[in-house]
Structure 1
């Protein structure tokens, strides 16, 4: 019997079993405002899309849950259950040195994705699990492929915004560590370009709010 553990706007998450192993069942929910045949096709496509990116991220060297089974017709993914703690929850009760190490690893992993042209699209501290000091990326529902510096900068800009809104006490230090980790993989010149682009995005945002 599956147990509902999280309700989302796009999907519900259940904890159950798959061949006697604990597993996660992610079910994309129908949208009543969409025409039914179109809704089925959209949910099919997004289900396969997310499963594919979970695999692509693993190929890029980033830990993600293993995908056990996909049922496109039901818009379901059965995947590995990671008994980890969300990074969001860890910020409030672990030592700063551990936060530094985790944030550096976040940066390295984001850089690995970007080097393989994978944009996560939803980089929040809720979408990282920490299990046995290992970082696991989850929820690739908004991921896409891109080589554009702008898209990579938006990925990091979102991460920074989440830190500033939800973890203000460590936001600057955490983001700096993320950039340091990113530079280890992508190089200092890439970081300089990304920081310039992030500042440009922030200026555009401020201008839009004033207007």
Structure 2
């Protein structure tokens, strides 16, 4: 694959060649309907190209060896940056870096974002009351100790939450922020269980365990 296309990306630059089954499993966290198509993986509006070995200068020498997984649009441009989120989420889970438009980033370095609990219906303050305290100045903001939550309409419709759509009247996200990712993950899963929702990470990959929010060891 041409180096220019890998630099344009979005591309997940990985330190080792990923196992095909593991790569499919990871992509299916973002899109449960993702499937194999030859050596590639096809997901919503994108094609996850088979890994190819690349030069280390793709990531400015940050990795000694590089296996590049490019996420290419299929047809119109993917909605809501799904292609970029997919590349970054893959890189995060496989100890890699993400490349987009020539810029290299380490998804594990982003400490400003957090998980979200996605619900098919906007919850009432009473439904949140057992776990979240309302803010006195902003009705969309709640707190639980050092965890801050904001209840907002979900932006777009990420494939990871498609199973909620048949029951949805207003897809809603409870965006969680805090200093400890594992603590955020545990709280998000408890909240999701209580409110019949799903937990997704900052890249809109489904989260099934608090450890999913931590960079792999």
TM-score, reference length from structure 2: 0.27
More strand by share: 2
More helix by share: 1
Compare relative contact order (CA 8 Å, sep 6+) and give the higher one, 1 or 2. 2
TM-score, reference length from structure 1: 0.28
